[in-house]
Structure 1
Amino acid sequence: MNFFKQTLSSLTGSSIPYTIKEKVVDPQSLNPTDVERNSIWTVYDGINPKDNNPVSIFEFNLRDPANQIKTALARNAFKKLKMIKHPGVVSTVDFFDNDSSLYIVTEKVIPLLTYLQEEVSDDAKVNGVYQIAKTLSFINDSCHSSYLNLNIYNSVVVNAQGDWKLFGFELVSDADQTDVFAYKESMPGFREFAPPEENRTVKADSFRLGKFIFSVFDSSERNLPSRLVPIIKRLSGNNANVRITPTQYIKELEGWHGENPIIRFNEEIAELKFFSDADKLSFFRQQLPSYLQYETSFPVGFLNYKLLPELISQYNQLSKTAAGDSQKQETLCTMINLIIKFGIKLPPEDFHKTIKPIIVSCFCSTDRAVRLILLTHLPEYHSFFSDSEIQSQIFSNLITGFQDTNFMIRETTLKSITIIIDKISVKQVNQDLLRILAKSQMDPKPSIRVNTLILIIKISSKIYSNSRNNVLITALAKSLRDSFTPCKMAALHGFETLRGEFSMEEICSKVLGHLAIALMDKKSTKVRKEARRIFQVYLEAVESHAGDLDDYEEDEDAEEREFYKKFGPTVQQAEPEAAPTETTSNPEVQSLWGAVSKLASFGGSGQMNKDFNNSTPDLTSSVPSTPAAQPQSQVPILEQPVKADAWDTGDGWDDGDDGWNQNDEVEIVKETKKISISRKPQPIPTHKRPIGAKHSGLKLGAKVNKPKPKLQLNLKADDDKEVEDGWGDGW
């Protein structure tokens, strides 16, 4: 079983220490493309487990009988790629040679023909051809070899940076090597680009270069740049003696190549590491913006994978020495802007690895220009951050912008919160953000006040439920009183949007009152009209709710009867066998009028007088009364009972008076713990008080002196004439 697993592992390619993913080129495909038809290598996308970087894996199956004639070609490519190193040659990572297969692991690349299927500018094509010509010149002049296999199908690949690289080294040989060239006919596509003569000289590479350039520009002279037309004729002529070499091609077009922005930019990026600090600052502040105006002409991936890594490297170096230097700080801002601009185009895994740490560190910066760049680009990169990363690494630093004295920072910070609000926790909203927004509602800049209210409405679902409505109504009401008309309109819109959040009690007691104020707005007819419309919406909701309530009228006397039932004295029937009348037939009415009749004897000598006098406990007594000694039908009796006739004037109501006479005195003596009431004789009035006259005895709001150990109240009685109650004869 173990042997079977090892064999299967070897057959599937998992014997090499790389993760093999999808197949990109399959020469054995039943429906091969032009690339697959002209390749001897099976190509896979893969992952390098050491650093998780993407790679390309080229496999040649040694056990396939169809590959036996091509084995010498594959082994020659395997050998030459190990020996020849140049920026124009594909970067190799690893080589594996076992009994079943040959493996060449390279940087991540795609076939040139696949690359050209996308839209590629003429400047990018000229730059690519220039790179291939320089590589051929190196092989011819420095390696003293001939390449002999240049074509558009299998010999050139393109990496992630947009650079064109030579790969197909199957026929590379020097002048002393004769065995490999003998297998040239086994190389797919060899004859299509072969020169008429049968030799391995440099002039053969010149012929193939001319054919290659012609194919790159869609095999049409009409699509060729005019400067290349005569050069191609000199490269691919049938007479080998008059052909120019790849080195001559580069020299003759040196001036023209120097005008190509991609070629110039590419060379400056390669030399940037050798620049002085002053030259680097000059490049990023002056040259770089001029190059970026040709951004649409750059090869796919050039800015993201060639310029961006260099920007990051230079940024890390410059940030260590930029403190206090205004020029360096300005350059840093330019670099940060470009880093984010190009970084957002990266795949998520590349962004997390290279761009995210820079953004997080920049949020800790106090530089306003840096902060403004981060906030401006936030809509573009916030999706790369998880909720937890926003909450722990971004939010706390971001909200410090609300305290900035520069209104642009405050306003941009406020707009940024609306972008990441879904990633902020409920706790952060209630404990941090609401407190800040309450202050922001009073910001001097009107637009900030408007956007603050809009944000409060947007985060309403995250406000704690026990305080949500109070917060919303308070915020909306404050904005409704704002002097800025758009702020009032935003508040009215908020009331309309949040209508379903408020209870009927809140609508009646709070919302309608605030809306009513807007009905009388003095500055804007638009506000008044909108307030009237929304007020009517709320009012209709209240009326609809009221219409759904049960038809019920509360008994107005029920509470009064309940009071007498609990606290009134017991009513004793003097004549229990008396015939019932219309008034006493109802027990409730009988009880009520019984209580009233007792009240009529207030101040006289009746039992009701005694009961009420005895119903108040002696607050000055030091000895508590004994419940057992009290009558069951009455409340506790004072230790020192008041005389029954102290309040009595003869008829119970005392000629319309209220029971208090002008010269009545109440004396409280603390030393004896007793209450004594003395009454001075008063003359009987000879005239009657006019109807409707008011009492002049006790008055509401009268000044009350502080209690003294001995207090006397002299109460004057008004005229004895009856007082009209204002309700007519109904009582």
Structure 2
Amino acid sequence: MNFLSSAFSSLTGNSIPYTFKEKIVDPKSGSFPDSTSVWTIYNGLNKANNAPVAIFECSLTDPVNISKDLVSLARNCFRKSKMLKLPGIISVVDFIESESYLYIITEPVVPLSSYLSQSAGSGSDSKIFGVHSIGLAMSLVNQSQYLHGKLNLTNSVFVTRAGDWKLFGLELLTNLQSDPDQPIYRLSKLEPGFDSSLPEDVIGNSDLIRQFPLKLDSYKFGVFIYSVFNHSQKGNSPINYTNSELQNMKNVPKQLASSAKKLVNQKSSLRPTVEKFMKDAATYFDQNKLVLFNHELEELKFKNDNDKLSFFKHELGAFTGNDNSEEEDDLFPSGFLEFKLLPELISQYQNIFKAKPSVNTTPEEHAQRQETISVLLNYILTFGANLEEATFSSQIKPVILQAFSLPDRSIRLSLLNHLNNYIKYLTESDIQNKIFYNLLTGFQDTNYMIRETTLKSITTVIDKVSVKQVNQDLLKVLAKSQMDPKPSIRTNTLVLIIKISSKIYNTSKNNVLITALSKSLKDSFVPCKMMALSGFESLIKEFSLNEICGKILGHLAIALMDEHSHKVRTEARRVFDLYLQSVEEHASSLPQDDVDEEEEEKIFFAKHAPVTSTSSESVTESSSNDYSIGIGGFRLGLTKMNPKGTLNNDFNVSTPDLTRVGTPTLETPNFNTNQSTNVDTWNDFDVDESWGGEDVVDEVVDDTPKKPATINTSTRAPRKSSGLKLGKKTAAAKPKSALKLNLKVEDDDDNWGGDW
């Protein structure tokens, strides 16, 4: 395997600083039209800059080349390519000569016969454009006193990547004034296929060319025109047209055919030169849109700013049919758009963009500059949308990323209007890091067109926006956009919120959606309300039953009474029923048995009821039954409560009202603590000593018969006797006021209003 690789390297000359790729012409194949070529042609790459090239190779040691003396033809082409530098001739990059090979490195090209066979640029306008280009090149060659002598369709005309037809095949090129070798006479017999397209007066006798040498190129050019328009009929077979076929000029446009017939006149003296033919047919060629447009494009670099703007607004617009990109393939030859028009537009755009306005720039000049940039950008985006991804990334993407940073509204509109066409070429990194934040600034623009177009563009790029950017940046902007004065912007904002619902954080998603949908449901714009109802319907599975009952049904219920639209009310009823049905389905799955209605009350008293002794168990039971809640209301048996026990003390020992003035009290008799008495403890208060009074017992007689209760003296301290005797009227002790008011109290008035 290594041996084969080494052998291939030596054969193809891989030692030169160019990378050989696939063959595009192989003379050794033995098939037409490759068999008529002196050169083996490869596609290649320049190792220095990786630029594409075409490599013309001729082996000086090949036995076939030596036996047929094709090396002499190759050497003449090699030398003349260095000498002849004219427009319309293939651009030569490099020449390499070794003991074994001759190499001519040119711009990347393909043979015209292959180009036409692939049906690329086979339209009539493209062929006329190509014929015009070769006619101009041949005219310049003849004006320079050179005779080409080999013009044909097979191996002397090549097509560049830009769709330009270029002249080559200089194996017989002869300087009629200073060429000592005179190859047209000496080497013409060696040229494959030379005799197949000659006038009758010189067949077999090349010396007759000397009388009218330039007329040979005229005849060759006439045959070339005919073969271009009839190539599909001949296919890949040797071309040998009869005189009657050439005079008929079948399939050639009539206006061009009348002049082309003169070129193939059998008498050399009657044939016009190529230069004369091009002048006679100038009117016809100038009527061709592609020819005229190409001429204007080549002259563009020499025009001033006003003329450039006029060209972009009128000539380019008229030629492209007012930006009708659907017919681009018919308008331009293959490669013309990608490698000629777009590079020129981009070059002009960059030149104007880099030329910053100066202090002396007038507002009119600045406005004209901005308009030119906008028009150029519009065409760049229009024509660049159908490029291959690699070409788009290298030529168009840098322009787009740069333009998004510009504040000009017309530029921003152009970018957004074409976004659908080029979004497929932008990566997530491009969107997130270089476009998204510039795009958000459009929501703050005072021009509603910018705001609305920006909103629609967010919908286009949202799939390439990160979740973090959606939640931290976009939702804030959309919240404000829901209050935009323009109704359609509010509606489209809700559409976008519904679309990005899957990217909202789960912790806040439902709150965001319910808030946004509810706000739009209250909007005055009917389509906005309908979109909110549609959103509620599509997102019904996102919400929990608690959210449905607590938040959503209430908003939908309000929409049931919409005063402005019957359509909204009808749709709201349908969506409301959907949500209500989901609630009812869940409710039907719940247990049918009711819980104890007083269970919670029982739990409370089980926790807080007083703990009693066994002897008073019956009393506690009867007391606890009085603390029950009936269905009709709260039933507290206050008058039936047993005045004994801890619970009663908890009620009685309460915080005193510090704002209340102390009440005069009577001294109570000294009871025998060992004697069983009926004591009502409701009024058995413990007086706060801070009030300044003494312990007082107020007797309250309860006529209700009660069982005698024994007072446990061990747990309750005996009351101190006041020293007063029953039956005597005494003055009550003056209570001290916490408020320290200077009040005068009469000693002879006990304030009770009579005897005890």
TM-score (norm 1): 0.78
The amino acid of 1:315's aligned partner reads Y
The reply on whether 1:540 has 2:561 as its aligned counterpart is no
Determine which of 609, 624, 639 is the counterpart of 2:645.
609
Partner of 2:53: helix, strand, or coil?
Answer: strand
Whichever residue aligns with residue 334 of structure 2, its letter is: V
Counterparts in 2 of 1:426 and 1:241: CA distance versus 1, 3 Å: same
Take 2:108 and 2:678, find their aligned partners in 1: how far apart are those partners? 115
CA distance in 2, matches of 1:225, 1:670: 129
User: Can you list the C-alpha shifts for 1:424-458, whole angstroms capped at 9, x where unaligned?
Assistant: 11111111111111111111111111100000001
Q: Decide whether aligned partners of structure 1 residues 64 and 601 sit closer, same or farther in structure 2, where only a CA change above 3 A counts.
A: same
Counting aligned pairs with the same residue, the percent is 46
Please give the alpha-carbon distance, in whole angstroms, between the structure 2 residues aligned to 1:75 and 1:529: 89
CA distance in 1, matches of 2:259, 2:141: 21
1:264-323: CA deviations, max 9, x gaps? 222222222222334333433444333434964332333443232222222223232457
**What is aligned with 1:238?**
266
Residue 489 of structure 2 aligns with which residue?
A: 448
Distance change (3 Å), C-alpha of 1:148 and 1:647 = farther
Residue equivalent to 2:40: 42
Q: Is the counterpart of residue 60 in structure 1 residue 58 in structure 2?
A: yes
Aligned to 2:518: 477
CA distance in 1, matches of 2:159, 2:312: 27
- Structure 1 position 596 matched with structure 2 position 625: yes
Instruction: Give the deviation of 1:250 after TM superposition.
Output: 1.3
| Change beyond 3 A, Cα 1:316–1:557 | same
Q: Structure 1 residues 215-224 or 465-474, which shifts more?
A: 215-224
In the TM superposition, residue 528 of structure 1 has moved relative to its aligned partner by: 1.7
Question: Could you say which residue in structure 2 is the equivalent of 1:257?
Answer: 285
Please report the RMSD computed on the Cα atoms of aligned residues, expressed in angstroms: 3.7
How far apart are 1:539 and its partner, in Å? Answer: 2.1
Does structure 1 conserve the Cα–Cα contact (< 8 Å) formed by 2:559 and 2:569? yes
Question: Aligned ranges for residues 690-701 of structure 1 at < 5 Å?
Answer: none
Alpha-carbon distance in structure 2 between the residues aligned to 1:309 and 1:440? 40
Q: Displacement, 1:29?
A: 4.5
Instruction: Return closer, same or farther for 1:450/1:189 CA change in 2, 3 Å cut-off.
Output: farther
Q: Residue 138 of structure 1 corresponds to which residue in structure 2? A: 140
Shift of 1:75: 3.0
Matches within 5 A, 1:28-177: 28-29=28-29, 32=31, 34-62=32-60, 64-68=62-66, 69=68, 70-116=70-116, 117-142=119-144, 144-175=145-176, 176-177=180-181
State whether residues 602 and 608 of structure 1, in contact with CA within 8 Å, keep that contact through their aligned partners in structure 2: no
Q: Secondary structure at the match of 1:86?
A: coil
Residues 683-727 of structure 1 deviation map (CA, whole Å, 9 limit, x = unaligned): 999xxxxxxxxxxxxxxxxxxxxxx9789xxxxxxxxxxxxxxxx
Q: May I ask how many residue pairs the two structures share in their alignment?
A: 637
Structure 1 position 413 matched with structure 2 position 411: no
Answer with 360-369 or 414-423: which moved more: 360-369
Specify the SS of the correspondent of 1:118.
coil
Which of 367, 377, 389 does residue 348 from structure 1 map onto? 389
For 1:193 and 1:310, how far apart are their aligned partners in 2? 39
Report the CA distance shift for 1:476/1:271 in structure 2 as closer, same or farther (over 3 A): same
Q: Look up the match of 1:567.
A: 608
Distance 1:225 1:593, change over 3 A: farther
Please, which runs of 5 or more residues in structure 2 have no aligned partner?
A: 232-247, 323-327, 629-635, 657-676, 705-736, 741-756
What is the rounded CA distance, in whole Å, between the counterparts of 1:535 and 1:605 in structure 2?
53
Residue by residue over 1:548-569, the C-alpha shift from the partner in whole angstroms, topping out at 9 and shown as x without a partner, is 4455543444433433333333
Q: Contact 2:529 / 2:568 at 8 angstroms: preserved in 1?
A: yes
Q: Distance in 2 between matches of 1:172 and 1:288?
A: 38
Alignment pair present for 1:503 and 2:532: no
Deviation by residue 1:66-87 (Cα, 9 ceiling, x = unmatched)? 4433333333323322222122
Taking the aligned partners of 1:90 and 1:674, their CA distance within structure 2 comes to: 126
8 Å Cα contact 2:94/2:104 also seen in 1? yes
**Contact (CA 8 Å) 1:668, 1:709: kept in 2 or not?**
no
What is the rounded CA distance, in whole Å, between the counterparts of 1:675 and 1:289 in structure 2? 111
Alignment of 1:311-350 (within 5 A): 311-319=345-353, 320-321=355-356, 324=363, 325-350=366-391
| Equivalent residue letter for 1:234 | K
Q: Could you say which residue in structure 1 is the equivalent of 2:665?
A: none
Partner of 2:403 in structure 1? 362
Cα displacement (A) at 1:602: 6.9
Alignment map for 1:267-286 (pairs within 5 Å): 267-286=295-314
1:435 to 466, 476, 488: 476
Taking the aligned partners of 2:690 and 2:156, their CA distance within structure 1 comes to 123
Structure with max Cα Rg: 2
1:190 paired to 2:178: no
The match for 2:414 is: 373
Give the 3 Å change call, closer, same or farther, for CA 486–134 of structure 1 in structure 2.
same
CA contact (8 A) 2:174 2:183 kept: no
Paired with 1:310 and 1:674, the residues of 2 have a C-alpha distance of 110
- 282, 297, 320: which one pairs with 1:292? 320
Secondary structure, counterpart of 1:506 in structure 2: helix
> Given that residues 522 and 529 in structure 2 are in contact (C-alpha distance below 8 angstroms), is that contact kept between their aligned partners in structure 1?
yes
Supply the distance in 2 between the matched residues of 1:151 and 1:677 (Cα, whole angstroms): 139
Q: What is the aligned counterpart of 1:216 among 228, 248, 252?
A: 228
Determine the structure 2 residue equivalent to 1:522. Answer: 563
Match in the other structure for 1:248 = 276
CA distance 1:266–1:533, change in 2 (3 Å): same
The Cα of 1:479 is off from its aligned counterpart by 0.6
Residues 1:9 and 2:9 are matched in the alignment: yes
Note closer, same or farther for the CA distance 1:678–1:255 as it changes in structure 2 (3 Å cut). Answer: farther
- CA displacement, residues 445-496 of structure 1 (integer Å, 9 cap, x when unaligned): 1111110000000111111110001000110111111111111111111111
**Contact 2:37 2:155 survives alignment (8 Å):** yes
TM-score by structure 2 length?
A: 0.76
- In structure 1, what is the Cα distance between the partners aligned to 2:462 and 2:564? 34
State the secondary structure of the residue aligned to 1:466.
helix
2:643, 2:680 within 8 Å by CA — same for their partners in 1? no
Query: What SS does structure 2 have at the residue aligned with 1:365?
Result: coil
Task: Give the unaligned 5+ runs of structure 1.
Answer: 579-589, 621-642, 649-663, 686-707, 712-731
Aligned AA (1:47) = L
The answer to whether the 8 A contact 2:653-2:685 is kept is no
Q: What is the alpha-carbon distance in structure 2 between the residues aligned to residue 193 and residue 311 of structure 1?
A: 42
The alpha-carbon deviation at position 371 of structure 1 amounts to 1.4
Q: Residue 646 of structure 1 contacts residue 678 of structure 1 at CA under 8 Å; is this kept in 2?
A: no
Q: 1:193 to 1:370 in 2, by over 3 A?
A: same
What SS does the corresponding residue of 2:320 show, helix, strand or coil? helix
Choose 375-384 or 607-616, whichever is displaced more: 607-616
What do residues 364-413 of structure 1 show as CA deviations (whole Å, max 9, x unaligned)?
Answer: 22221121111111111222221111111111111111111111111111
Question: Residues of 1 paired with 2:560 and 2:229: CA distance?
Answer: 72
CA distance in 1, matches of 2:434, 2:71: 56
Structure 2 distance, partners of 1:553, 1:99, is 109
Letter in 1 for 2:199: P
- CA contact 1:609–1:644 (8 Å) conserved in 2: no
Separation in structure 2 between the aligned mates of residue 571 and residue 12 of structure 1, nearest angstrom: 116
Between the aligned partners of 1:72 and 1:617, the Cα distance in structure 2 is 132
The whole-number CA distance in structure 2 between the counterparts of 1:81 and 1:574 is 133
| Whole-Å separation in 2 of the counterparts to 1:50 and 1:419 | 41
Q: CA deviation at 1:99?
A: 4.8
Query: Per-residue deviation at 1:100?
Result: 4.8
How far apart are the structure 2 equivalents of 1:316 and 1:530?
55
